Amino acid sequence: MCLTKVLMDGGSGLNILYVDTLDAMHIPWSELHPVISPFHGVILRTQAYPLGQINLPVTFGNQANFRSEVLTFEVVDFLRSYHAILGQPCYAKFMAIPNYTYLKLKMLGPNDVITMG
């Protein structure tokens, strides 16, 4: 499944996947790993508990030049405008550099620089 509405959030220490997206990908909730720790800053003035965590492969690029890594996502049941939010764990794993002025994400691929809009 191609996630077309993904938010780049360099201030976030989490990769977030919304439960509606998980359902649209036909991934059963039984694949979630339990999480007992809440996180803060996602919902104003309150802590939030994820439904669980899931490890999913993520690929950037095209057939000629791509990178794939497995990322851990916190699965949440919040109101949403996006399919997922990519935070610092994603950037570190891909060694990617976000440019918020142009809303681009750049990373080194096997053949050239991969630029995602």
CATH number of 6-116: 2.40.70.10
Q: Each residue of 17-76: pLDDT tens digit?
A: 989 999 999 999 999 999 988 877 666 667 778 999 999 999 999 999 999 999 999 999
| Residue 109 pLDDT | 94
| Residue 62 pLDDT | 92
Q: In the chain, which ranges are E strands?
A: 6-8, 16-18, 39-43, 46-48, 52-62, 65-76, 84-86, 97-99, 104-108, 113-116
pLDDT at 103 over 60: yes
User: Which pTM value belongs to this model?
Assistant: 0.85
- The band of 13, judged by pLDDT with boundaries at 50, 70 and 90, is confident
| Residue 26 pLDDT | 94
pLDDT at 84 over 80: yes
